Structure 1
Amino acid sequence: MHPVNATASLLVLLAANGTTLLDCVCNRLANVKGLKGLTFGEKLIRWDYCTQRSDYRLYATCENLRPPSTVVPAVSHMRPGTWSYQPPLSADGVPWLADEEQCDVVMAAIRDLSQNEAWELSNQLVCHIAADCVHTCPVQWLNDTEWNATTLATDDVRRPILSQLLHAVRRITKAIHARKKCEDNIEGYFLYRRVQTSEIQAAMTAYMDQMSNSWREYVQLLSHGVTHATQLFIPLAFEHMGNHTNDEQLRGWLKNMERLRDMLHTKLRGWVHDMRLIGEQIANYKIEEDKNSTENYIIRRPQLSGELLTHQGWYPYFRDDFSKICEVQQPEASQMFGLADALYSFYHSYWFCTPQYLSAIERSPVDEKWLLEDRSNATLSVDTACMQLLANSLDDPTCPLEDLPPETIQRREQCRLQLWNDMVQRLPHIPVTSYLAYTQRVNVNICLLAWMTVNSFSICQDVPFSMIQSVHDARCYFDSPYDQSCLESNVKDAICFVSRATLLLKCRDFSSLKLPKLCDVKIYADGSNKTFTLPEIEILRGNLKPTKTTLYFKESLNDATLRYKDFKIDNLKFLEFSFIAINILFRFLTVGVQMYLPQLHNLPGKILMSFQMTGIIQILCSEVMYRMVGVPDLSTMVLIDSALTLLTCIWLSTFCYQMYSCIRHLRLPNDLQPAEARKVFRRHVLYAVIPWSMICAASFTLEYTNKDYLIYSRIIFLVGISLSVSFNLLCLGIVGYMYLRNKKSMSKLKVYSKDKYGSKKQFVYLSVKAVVLSGIGIIIRMGFHQAQGVAQSVYYVHIATMMQGPVLFVFFICSETTLPVLKNRAMAWWNPGIIRPGQELGSAAVRNLARRRNEQFVAGESKL
């Protein structure tokens, strides 16, 4: 028989019976001791197919493998059978056996093959195994299997399904390695042809087409494998995790296992997506001869190549992350998560890592570089509500097996959208003009934000880890900031993909130098195993867990992340509300006294009363309406609070100017008649409201027309407040200068007096009044708010500022001039017949004359 015809006949026969007939051949060859009794064809088939791999291994953390761990016995079932293969069970529980007569025919045909025929069959067989598995490995009738307490506990139902799934998974594993061996054979043929022919480019093109087909076939195998691995997880865990005493416990266990199965499926699904994208990129590979060597060639690959697959973690660390926090809900959490870790690691080693080196043609690649500088020191302004959510998830993580409230899920999705919008807008540091604004925006290191977004406990748990997708979106984000149409992922998941690529590729200072401690378990064909300690030097870069990367940048992990937590401290709420109430009370008292005493109805008094009323409205809006009632929304409330802060500064500017004007023109506040004072006050109000309205209109327009102009809106308010405070300081400085100049002039004239300018108490009062009137406190408070990462300290300062009301009352009302008048009027209201100081004269006419003189004197010694 012609070699090709003999090989073709055998392949047709084997294809008609799948791998069952080949396994029968392997079992018979395994019963032959030694190699002397085998022909060349039998030796070759035994070596190339029956013993594809003899060293299946499991990489897991050493703690996960300690007895009485059920991980190794469970994973050992995944190992493809080589010598004593056990056939799968049918739906009726009967083993599927190959036809013995056909097995005899195949054995005889293999025995009669010549060396060339045997080589040809071996080369064709490894390629045929993978192609055959694409169509025959999936168990279609199991796709709709749903486990419940009854079916899972019924051996006659569970075991046939488990047997079929194990059989399919083993076949897929063998097919994947057969696909690799097929590529090696094609590679050898390609190298031979490259030397023998001058049509190098044509040969290379043909090989790239073959390689593209191989990847496409591999993606199909991997997709089937992930589907079956997900279906296999629950019945396999049930077999190896002991019995469940009652149906209630079994239902709870099953519910938790379904959650864990979904988590494992999410991890595995990222592989399939990566491999599919790489297969699409193979067509863009460029192959050319190496000008420096006639025996070598160069392959030029785009950035989105198989090299990125090394960033896929070898181990998901479910057990380390979630066992402790899930023990209360599920006592077997450690075993459950440990099994998921082990299965992931096994699949990663034999399904995912094999195609990374699918072809030796990539021995001399020249990759396209992603030319982007290190982002370790870059910062970004983001929403503080999201930052607090991320920090809370680290400080108080929840068990992923729990049923999350719909509000929590919705909040996480909204947070992903908000953070992505913040990244797209590329907002820099936003000037803060109020405490509320500080709680709205915060600056964060972009690498720290990426870590907090994609860590194990954060908001990206349900997004598959596709490294190729992550790099694609990150390049779109960094290289084409205004062309978001290049994103392949949806906007809801974009923050997760970009954060992963940013953290792994562009955050050198945030990379961890500490490698995980894993153990190596060698699983033998007979089911036995042996554990080795894996040296750190043998752990590849892929073993690093991206979401578990510890920070190597200035501060420890807790200091770097949890500083964004607790913008408000719960145990200080009572103190805060008490201070707010005291602040409002004393501000109302101050306004009431100013309205009650006629001496304070002059022009400066009216301006100070406007200042007080503005402060009261600001406190009621920001601390009562928003903080306690929740209306309006935060963004609008920040604008209102900033606008009222600006108006407060403008009132102070008007008062300081009036003070300067009085001293400049040697005019007392009460020199103006009430009608004229009201006229001048209305003019001052007009002068204050016009610029304030223009600034507010500009800021509101900028912020509500385009979110990109948020920073300009805040800058306008900040500039307005700064100019107003600068004007206050200028006026007070001129007043001080005039006082020093007059004092110096009096000294030159040798005019001396035994009376001092004022007592220490008066100096304290004047100093505090100057600070309040200048607005320095407002600038200091806003400047303190610019500090990032000190949320609790800012909160303390905010509480302290609520004592403004008592301070204003003490230093503006409880003075030596105002307080006695208030006291006398209060005493007269309480007891009209009492004789107050200064009323001891005998006649009413004299008393009236003295009263007028006394009022003029008191007015001259008023607050100013």
Structure 2
Amino acid sequence: MHPAGAAASLLALLAANGTSVLDCVCDHICRVAGPPGGSYGEVRLWWGYCRYPRSYDVYVQCDELAPPFSVAAAVAPLVPSGSSTPCRPPEKEEEEEEEEEQEAGCGGALEAVRGLTRTTPDQLQTWHLCSLIAHHCFHSCPARGLNDTEWNAEVLATDHVRHPILSELLAAARRITRAITARFLCALRNTLSFVRSSGLNETELQAEVAAYLERLSSYWRDSAQLLALSVENLSQLLVPLAFEHSGHRANDQQLHVWVKHMERVREMLLTKLSGWVRDVRSLSEQIPNYKVEEDQKYPGKYILRRPVLNEDLLTFHQEHPSFRRSFSALCEERQPEASQMFGLADALHSLYRFNLFYEIFTSGVSRIVDEEWQLEDRSHATLSVDTDCVQLLANALDHPSCPLEDLPAETVQQRQRCRVQLWDDMVQRSPHIPVTSYLAYTQRATVNLCLLAWMTTNSFGICQDVPFSMMQSVHDARCYFDSPEDRSCLESDATDAICSVSRAILLLKCDEFSSHKSLDVCSVHLYTNGSNSTTDELPGLDGYEKATERTLNYIDSLSNATLKYKDFKVDSLKPLEISFTAVNIIFRFLTAGVYTYLPQLRNLPGMIFLSFQVTGIVQILCSEVMYRMAGVPDLATAVLVDSALTLLSCIWLNSFCYQMYACIRHLRLPNDLLPAEARKAFRRQVLYALIAWSVVCGASIALEKTNRYYLVHSRIIFLAGISLSIGYNLVCLGLVGYMYLRNKKSMTRLKIYSNDKFGSKRHLFYMSVKTIILSGVCIIIRIGFHQAEGIAQLVYYMHIATMVQGPLLFVFFTCNEATFPLLRNRLLACWNPHIISLQQELCSTAERNLALRRNKQSVAAESSL
């Protein structure tokens, strides 16, 4: 037969019957001609298609090989069977008989193969044959009509229903495995033909490169589809396969629970494999971005330039997921067979990872140059994040839960909210957000970026349900670092972005946080004739499921320094804190009541100080009572209200300090103004205060509400406003002190002396404390502690100490020689109206004589009557 006719005939047979005719020819070569065959066509077909692996390797933890559960027996049915008869040198008579049978059974394929020569078109010998193998499997390999099979307890317990379906699924799995193997062997023959050629001009070279890259992209595209078929098949196969080899003998209730748990194991395994399939599919899209160019230093040699997204990223997929090692102990109480379930999942992952996934390394080039990702080591970078979410991460690591049980809906929603919140925090890129409220301090933690990435993507973290796609992770991470203002380039949604970017950061840019730990892993060889052999121990197999000692130390320090005091949840100090808060509120109300009750304190400074007290009361009620006890409003609003009221308190102190300065500057007493004039001046002071306060609050709220990324700028505006306000107080108080010293010096020069001192030690102490309170320095100290990092316990004590401000204000502004006697006499007068104090006696001797005369006249009138 003419070579072209032989090729056409074989292509027609392949199109009609798929790879079954090639399998027939391979069986003939093995049983009759002897490998690799006699003719050129047989030899070429043997090396290009028939010679697939005779054994498949599965890597498992060595202790899994012990009875009663054997991994080899469970996964062996997925391995494609070899020839029915071992390859052996045939005898002459047998050869003639079997040759006649094969020629009839193969439908002319054997004759077409033998008709192939070296002049046969190359498309049959290389990529066209590979494409036919893959495309045939796309249509014929899946088990038809079984996608909707529901593996419940009743179906599994019924042998005559389970066995046929399981057999068909296993047969489909073997067909897919066979196609992947054959596709890989075909792809190995794809080499750069221009390497063996010489004298290619630039046009011919580029044409050869384009053809090569197209073939390489085709291989990865077909591989992605075949792997997707494998994973889809496995989703239906895993539950009955596990039941078949578990020796399950249980009642209906136990079997129902077993099925539920096995379904969860299947979801976990498919999550791992689906990310892997996505990466292979993404790689096929990246191949056209490869560049091949001649090496200028070495003529005749070629350089392959690859983008960051290349096949090397596939090596970051865990070689051994170690479900069994991580979760078996956690799930033994709920499911005694958890070790077997997770062990089977590990073995199947290993089977797919090492046997159904072949990396095609580029050939024909002398050097490979990869695009560099311009990002430094991030091991020492820090990030300010939500403390609630970090607490959730720490709790998940300290108290991991069994993944077989469905998480409560509230827990799932909390994890998703935290993923969104952590992503928002990462986008802001703030090492430490300045705060003016203790509420904000308790909700922010400065965390090492690599530690956060490890805590987020750990096996026990909040990203368990997000597929591990390394291609997508690197793409998202480059978008995050290279395009901070443009988030449209992200491939992940807002819920999964933190998981995707954290994986890339941890694996590629956190050298000090590498979590490699050797596992005791053994290899099991599964042969196509159904036998197996064990075991070679491979101590070098690594996994990412265990943290380094350094990472654990980071977590311990983080928990001890910040998270332990989050939301004031310190049981021993909780009653003390509640008591101090209650005392603070009571004494603030008492001070405000005194200033409202006594007419002498209703002057201009008194009304300003009363406004200061009312503002403090509202602030405590909002932050300590409403938010802490009732949970309203939301945290962001509560922090805004608390910071705004802190600023307003400082502004009231500005007005009070200015009045002190004005009184001394103009030698005017606070009571010189008539009540109507005092009210008018107070309204003017309120207007000035509210204008300044509204400007700062409006700017902060506008920034924070219009764009959540401007949280830092909003807090800085508040901090700057408070700092300027307190600075103004200090200037006013400094001027008051300067004028006192200057006046005292002037009186000394005038030789004016008095036996009365400026004040006693008690008076000086009272004045010093009042000056500190009015200056607002305590507010700056409190905010300074809020800004500190790593001393959360001191901050907590500082917060409790600020609750003493109410009693201090009452003592130093009410219990003094000027105010306390007024309050005492007023209360005594209410108790006994006939008591007349010194301040309430008549103003002159004439008035007293007139009153006395009137009394005498009334007495005389009564006696005359």
**The two structures share one fold, judged by TM-score above 0.5:** yes
1:480 aligns with 2:483: yes
- In structure 2, the partner of 1:276 is 281
Q: Which stretch shifts more, 548-557 or 598-607?
A: 548-557
1:299 partner amino acid: L
Deviations along 1:505-559, one digit per CA (max 9) or x if unpaired, are: 23334334x43324131324243332333243xx4xxx442x7554857952333
Going from structure 1 to structure 2, the CA distance change for 1:681 and 1:584 (only over 3 Å counts) comes to same
TM-score normalized by the length of structure 2: 0.84
1:369 aligns with 2:380: no
- In structure 1, the partner of 2:855 is none
- In structure 2, the partner of 1:854 is none
Distance 2:424 2:308 in 1: 26
Instruction: Give 3-state SS (helix, strand or coil) of 1:259's partner.
Output: helix
- In structure 1, the partner of 2:434 is 431
Distance 1:480 1:259 in 2: 38
Mapped contact 2:703–2:710 kept (Cα < 8 A):
yes
Distance 2:512 2:35 in 1: 61
1:476 partner amino acid: C
Q: How does 1:694-773 map to 2 (within 5 A)?
A: 694-739=695-740, 764-773=765-774
Instruction: Give 3-state SS (helix, strand or coil) of 1:488's partner.
Output: coil
1:151 aligns with 2:152: no
- In structure 1, the partner of 2:95 is none
What is the CA-CA distance between 1:267 and the residue it aligns to?
1.4
Instruction: Name the count of aligned residue pairs.
Output: 825
1:500 partner amino acid: R
1:80 aligns with 2:80: yes
Distance 1:579 1:506 in 2: 47
Going from structure 1 to structure 2, the CA distance change for 1:203 and 1:699 (only over 3 Å counts) comes to closer
Distance 2:216 2:435 in 1: 57
- In structure 2, the partner of 1:95 is none
Mapped contact 2:457–2:503 kept (Cα < 8 A):
yes
Going from structure 1 to structure 2, the CA distance change for 1:119 and 1:107 (only over 3 Å counts) comes to farther
- In structure 2, the partner of 1:324 is 329
- In structure 2, the partner of 1:659 is 660
TM-score normalized by the length of structure 1: 0.84
Mapped contact 1:420–1:495 kept (Cα < 8 A):
yes
Mapped contact 2:301–2:365 kept (Cα < 8 A):
no
Distance 1:203 1:660 in 2: 89
Going from structure 1 to structure 2, the CA distance change for 1:119 and 1:335 (only over 3 Å counts) comes to farther
- In structure 2, the partner of 1:683 is 684
1:520 aligns with 2:522: yes
- In structure 2, the partner of 1:417 is 420
> Which of 247, 250, 263 is matched with 2:252 structurally?
247
1:58 aligns with 2:58: yes
- In structure 2, the partner of 1:167 is 171
1:558 aligns with 2:556: yes
Going from structure 1 to structure 2, the CA distance change for 1:661 and 1:555 (only over 3 Å counts) comes to farther
Going from structure 1 to structure 2, the CA distance change for 1:297 and 1:766 (only over 3 Å counts) comes to same
Percent sequence identity over aligned pairs:
57
2:420 partner amino acid: L
2:653 partner amino acid: L
Instruction: Give 3-state SS (helix, strand or coil) of 1:485's partner.
Output: coil
What is the CA-CA distance between 1:258 and the residue it aligns to?
1.3
Distance 2:25 2:795 in 1: 77
Aligned Cα root-mean-square deviation (Å)? 4.2
Q: Which stretch shifts more, 356-365 or 329-338?
A: 356-365
1:313 partner amino acid: Q
> Which of 335, 347, 351 is matched with 1:346 structurally?
351
Mapped contact 2:588–2:810 kept (Cα < 8 A):
yes
What is the CA-CA distance between 1:732 and the residue it aligns to?
2.6
Going from structure 1 to structure 2, the CA distance change for 1:686 and 1:4 (only over 3 Å counts) comes to closer
Instruction: Give 3-state SS (helix, strand or coil) of 2:59's partner.
Output: strand
Q: Which stretch shifts more, 243-252 or 731-740?
A: 731-740
Distance 1:109 1:631 in 2: 79
Deviations along 1:347-383, one digit per CA (max 9) or x if unpaired, are: 111223x1x2354346632222222333344444444
1:523 partner amino acid: H
Q: Which stretch shifts more, 471-480 or 549-558?
A: 549-558
1:499 partner amino acid: S
What is the CA-CA distance between 1:614 and the residue it aligns to?
1.0
1:310 aligns with 2:312: no
What is the CA-CA distance between 1:722 and the residue it aligns to?
0.7
Distance 1:846 1:377 in 2: 84
Distance 1:534 1:619 in 2: 63
Structure 1, unaligned runs of 5 or more: 87-97, 850-864
Going from structure 1 to structure 2, the CA distance change for 1:687 and 1:285 (only over 3 Å counts) comes to closer
Distance 1:180 1:36 in 2: 19
> Which of 164, 186, 190 is matched with 1:186 structurally?
190
Mapped contact 1:431–1:715 kept (Cα < 8 A):
yes
1:73 partner amino acid: A
Instruction: Give 3-state SS (helix, strand or coil) of 1:60's partner.
Output: strand
Mapped contact 1:725–1:774 kept (Cα < 8 A):
yes
What is the CA-CA distance between 1:724 and the residue it aligns to?
1.3
Instruction: Give 3-state SS (helix, strand or coil) of 1:207's partner.
Output: helix
Instruction: Give 3-state SS (helix, strand or coil) of 2:230's partner.
Output: helix
What is the CA-CA distance between 1:317 and the residue it aligns to?
3.1
Mapped contact 1:183–1:359 kept (Cα < 8 A):
no
Deviations along 1:561-594, one digit per CA (max 9) or x if unpaired, are: 7756452144355544333322211111111222
Distance 1:295 1:422 in 2: 52
Distance 1:105 1:430 in 2: 77
What is the CA-CA distance between 1:616 and the residue it aligns to?
0.7
Distance 1:564 1:335 in 2: 40
Distance 1:16 1:338 in 2: 42
Instruction: Give 3-state SS (helix, strand or coil) of 1:174's partner.
Output: helix
What is the CA-CA distance between 1:708 and the residue it aligns to?
4.0
Instruction: Give 3-state SS (helix, strand or coil) of 1:264's partner.
Output: helix
Q: Which stretch shifts more, 819-828 or 749-758?
A: 749-758
- In structure 2, the partner of 1:628 is 629
Instruction: Give 3-state SS (helix, strand or coil) of 2:517's partner.
Output: coil
What is the CA-CA distance between 1:47 and the residue it aligns to?
7.5
1:778 partner amino acid: I
- In structure 2, the partner of 1:93 is none
2:654 partner amino acid: S
What is the CA-CA distance between 1:25 and the residue it aligns to?
7.4
Distance 2:327 2:738 in 1: 69
Instruction: Give 3-state SS (helix, strand or coil) of 2:303's partner.
Output: strand
Deviations along 1:762-785, one digit per CA (max 9) or x if unpaired, are: 555444323221111111111222
What is the CA-CA distance between 1:312 and the residue it aligns to?
1.9
Distance 2:267 2:260 in 1: 11
1:581 aligns with 2:582: yes
Going from structure 1 to structure 2, the CA distance change for 1:458 and 1:432 (only over 3 Å counts) comes to same
Deviations along 1:739-781, one digit per CA (max 9) or x if unpaired, are: 5566677888999999876666555544432322111111111
What is the CA-CA distance between 1:725 and the residue it aligns to?
0.8
Mapped contact 1:438–1:785 kept (Cα < 8 A):
yes
Instruction: Give 3-state SS (helix, strand or coil) of 1:194's partner.
Output: coil
Mapped contact 1:194–1:203 kept (Cα < 8 A):
no
Deviations along 1:643-690, one digit per CA (max 9) or x if unpaired, are: 211111111122223233334445444454444444443333333233
2:82 partner amino acid: T
Q: Which stretch shifts more, 819-828 or 696-705?
A: 819-828
> Which of 532, 535, 546 is matched with 2:536 structurally?
532
What is the CA-CA distance between 1:149 and the residue it aligns to?
0.7
2:484 partner amino acid: P
Mapped contact 1:176–1:221 kept (Cα < 8 A):
yes
Distance 2:695 2:76 in 1: 76
2:75 partner amino acid: V
Distance 2:36 2:835 in 1: 134
What is the CA-CA distance between 1:385 and the residue it aligns to?
4.3
Q: Which stretch shifts more, 160-169 or 122-131?
A: 122-131
Distance 2:125 2:151 in 1: 41
2:656 partner amino acid: F
Distance 1:242 1:113 in 2: 47
What is the CA-CA distance between 1:3 and the residue it aligns to?
5.8
- In structure 1, the partner of 2:592 is 591
1:161 partner amino acid: I
Instruction: Give 3-state SS (helix, strand or coil) of 1:556's partner.
Output: helix
1:135 aligns with 2:136: no
Mapped contact 2:517–2:546 kept (Cα < 8 A):
no
Q: Which stretch shifts more, 752-761 or 733-742?
A: 752-761
Mapped contact 1:391–1:562 kept (Cα < 8 A):
no
